[in-house]
Amino acid sequence: MSGYQPYNEFSSVSNNSGGGGFENSQGNGSRPATGGGGSQSTLMPVTIKQVLESKQMVQDGPFVIQNLELHHVVFVGVVRNVVDKTSNITLTIEDGTGQIDVRQWTADPTDIANANEQGEKQEGSYSSQISQMYQVGKYVKVFGALREFSGKKNVQYAVVKPIDSFNDVIAHHLSAMKCHAIANGSLQSPAYPNTDSTALSGSNQQPAQEQSLFVQDNSASDPKPALHKILEFCAAQCEGKDASNFAVHTKLIEQSLSISEADVKTYCQTLVDQGFIYPTFDDSSFFVL
């Protein structure tokens, strides 16, 4: 880190105000803005069947399924079909419980230019750059806001990330099971991420007696494990900020907390999987829910 320039230079928030991170002055209308907490800002791990069977109890209210309120959701599944429309693609995602279509818009200048030339020609006349990012039979993780149009469920502001390890699939389904168990009273809700439930005091390292579906993160050298530190740091940076033009970058976390780049990425992915943060401008920029 000795040759790296302070990341605070990339933020319009001064050090005196205790701010940091990446701030996009142009904004980004494709990202959901988060409000001042509450269930509307919760990223809920779900199965596609839960998405499809969820109902609105009141007009314009949240979708509800099995005592879970669904605002922003995340699910994993296999790409079963890719329909290329040049300016956008429609992915058919299936996870064994059901399937849903997710639309992705392109930001590639070549795709946009070809879309303007072709207008509304038949799909398949041009293989867009965005369509080449996804392959049929590959697993992906989808983040987005749940909506319904003409009786059909839709995921708005969709962020689709390829999955490199099947461990991510298992971890997601464990997270979905845990949220379901908490919502139905079968499991007590922890105050912090479940991988950070070890309570240490002084020299006596005694893990807290909490129910968890995940392996505990025990730190013998620090009474506050790294995962907990990263979540608190991100929460402090994001307080009062708008997710459409602000994000906490992994470089800032590395510099501020003196945690290695590899560990920061691992911990941030864990927090994403558990629904405490989500990626915004890129895979290295996050906002707290």
Angle between helices 250-257 and 226-238 (to 10 degrees): 120
Kindly state the helix (H) or strand (E) to which residue 103 belongs, with its residue range.
strand 99-105
Residues of the chain with pLDDT under 50: 1-38, 122, 124, 191-210, 215-221, 223
Q: Which of 51, 130, 41, 50 is nearest to 85 (CA)?
A: 130
Dump pLDDT digits (tens) for 116-151.
776 555 454 557 888 888 999 999 999 988 888 888
DSSP 8-state class, residue 195: G
Tokens of 86: 């040049």
Cβ(267)–Cβ(230) under 8 Å? yes
User: What's the pLDDT score for residue 242?
Assistant: 82
Reading the block at residue 169, the tokens are: 């699939």
Task: Return d(Cα 245, Cα 29) in angstroms, integer.
Answer: 9
What SS3 state is found at 23?
Answer: strand
Please, what is the end-to-end C-alpha distance for the chain in angstroms?
29
Domain ranges (residues) in the chain: 1-30+190-289, 40-186
Model pLDDT, residue 137: 93
Query: Is 40-186 a CATH 2.40.50.140 domain?
Result: yes
What pLDDT does residue 149 have?
Answer: 85
Check if the beta carbon of residue 207 is closer than 8 Å to that of residue 197. yes
pLDDT of residue 132: 86
- pTM for the model: 0.54
Rounded to whole angstroms, the Cα distance separating 288 from 276 reads 6
